[in-house]
Amino acid sequence: MKNNSIKTLVRDNILQLQPYISFRDNNKFNTPVMLDANESPFGECNRYPDSTQKKLKKRLAELKKVLPSQIAIGNGSDELIDLIIKIFCEPKKDAILMMNPSFAMYGFYAAINENKVQKLDLDENFEIVKEKFLKAAEDPSLKIFFLCSPNNPTGNSIDDIEFYLQNFNGIVVVDEAYIEFSGKKSSIELLNQYSNLIILQTFSKAWGIAGARVGMAYASEEIITLINTVKAPYNVNVLSQELILKTLEDKNRLQENVNRILEERTWLKQQFEGITCILKVFSTDANFFLIRMENVDHVYGKMLEEEILTSRRDPAIPGCIRINVGSRAENEKLINLLKSI
């Protein structure tokens, strides 16, 4: 980031906010009688969750080699995207920059907050053209650059993250939802060098716990304090926190999940070769493929007839369908259908 301190990027009204502080969660008690929060004394899940997610942050800090104070937990990464935009972007005034094509929710939450969305068109290989980025970054209304790597829906990783951190005069959000499938290093190792960096990760993909809706933001303590100030008091429920903590006890689960998906990804890539309706399979570092089809209307329709659900990407990416890696049985059903077409 060029010269600016984080405070100069934050909306004035956000700086003046006082965070909701749960007395219970910010003090230690041995055997408390809980008559402070108007809860029912009966029930299996009758108490509010820890609003600060202390146990979960402690475990994640150990895993990621950061401080607990550098972690914010969200109700999925979507909530964190929304909060980051609310913190840094003045409605009807500021703008975000996002790659095109990329994850649509960046633009969605910006639009809800009445912020302009500027799209940085990628080249034919879905790479960022640095000259175009530098030109776009000159716009003083830009407060946030959302950089998804590996990118959804294209599947490719973005190289030289530091270039964008050094040449963007605002917050750079590196969304690493699919990082575990890529073999690339996480940008978390850059946290202490760049005050304008926020990394998003999730339990929805490689961990296989999408239903729990838990996402993480890693950033400076200053930015995390801002996120914790703006977030809802009890944004991550008891059941999700307990499930994640239990999952983290299994040290092998993540790698086993990733290995199985990578094996299936390799198998699928081999099976795609020679299928006549497939024009191109784009290179991927994620758990999905972007595939250009001949007569995409017909192919997509046939898959729907067989209740094989995929993500159609045209007209934004002409003729393309995004297909994620499934189980072997699911993948075989897909391949058999494509071969028949």
Q: Choose the weakest-confidence range: 16-25, 67-76, 239-248, 258-267.
A: 16-25
Q: Express each pLDDT in 55-74 by its tens digit.
A: 999 999 999 999 999 999 99
What is the CATH number for 289?
Answer: 3.90.1150.10
In this structure, are 261 and 335 located in the same domain? yes
In this structure, are 34 and 168 located in the same domain? yes
Cα-to-chain-centroid distance, residue 182: 15
pLDDT category of residue 4 using cuts at 50, 70 and 90: low
User: Do 206 and 231 contact (CB within 8 A), yes or no?
Assistant: no
Is 318 a member of any domain?
yes
pLDDT category of residue 257 using cuts at 50, 70 and 90: very high
Is 37 a member of any domain?
yes
Q: Express each pLDDT in 73-87 by its tens digit.
A: 999 999 999 999 999
In this structure, are 263 and 170 located in the same domain? no
Across 308-317, average pLDDT: 95
* Cα–Cα distance for residue pair 202/214, rounded to 1 Å: 6
Is 1 a member of any domain?
no
pTM for the model stands at: 0.95
Q: Take residue 173 and report the two structure tokens written for it.
A: 């959000």
* Cα–Cα distance for residue pair 33/265, rounded to 1 Å: 53
Across 303-330, average pLDDT: 96
SS3 74: strand
3-state secondary structure 89-102: CCCCCCEEEEEECC
* Cα–Cα distance for residue pair 284/277, rounded to 1 Å: 19
Is 49 a member of any domain?
yes
The pLDDT score that the predictor gives to residue 2 is: 52
What is the CATH number for 139?
Answer: 3.40.640.10
Q: Take residue 338 and report the two structure tokens written for it.
A: 């494509």
In this structure, are 242 and 259 located in the same domain? no
Domain enclosing residue 220, as ranges: 6-249
Across 93-107, average pLDDT: 98
Is 61 a member of any domain?
yes
The pLDDT score that the predictor gives to residue 206 is: 96
Q: Take residue 212 and report the two structure tokens written for it.
A: 């729990």
In this structure, are 199 and 301 located in the same domain? no
Is 143 a member of any domain?
yes
The pLDDT score that the predictor gives to residue 118 is: 98
pLDDT category of residue 28 using cuts at 50, 70 and 90: confident
The residue from 218, 249, 280 where one domain ends is 249
The pLDDT score that the predictor gives to residue 116 is: 98
The pLDDT score that the predictor gives to residue 1 is: 62
Q: Express each pLDDT in 165-202 by its tens digit.
A: 999 999 999 999 999 999 999 999 999 999 999 999 99
In this structure, are 152 and 62 located in the same domain? yes
Is 139 a member of any domain?
yes
The pLDDT score that the predictor gives to residue 157 is: 98
Q: Which residues contact 186 (CB under 8 A, 6 or more apart)?
A: 64, 176, 179, 199, 201
In this structure, are 190 and 320 located in the same domain? no
Amino acid letter, 126: F
In this structure, are 117 and 161 located in the same domain? yes
In this structure, are 189 and 207 located in the same domain? yes
The residue from 249, 270, 292 where one domain ends is 249
In this structure, are 298 and 174 located in the same domain? no
The pLDDT score that the predictor gives to residue 147 is: 98
The pLDDT score that the predictor gives to residue 40 is: 94
In this structure, are 176 and 263 located in the same domain? no
Total structural domains within the chain: 2
The residue from 181, 216, 249 where one domain ends is 249
Greater pLDDT, 20 or 250 = 250
In this structure, are 120 and 190 located in the same domain? yes
SS3 291: strand
Compute the mean pLDDT over every residue in the chain, rounded to the nearest whole number. Answer: 96
Is 121 a member of any domain?
yes
* Cα–Cα distance for residue pair 72/82, rounded to 1 Å: 13
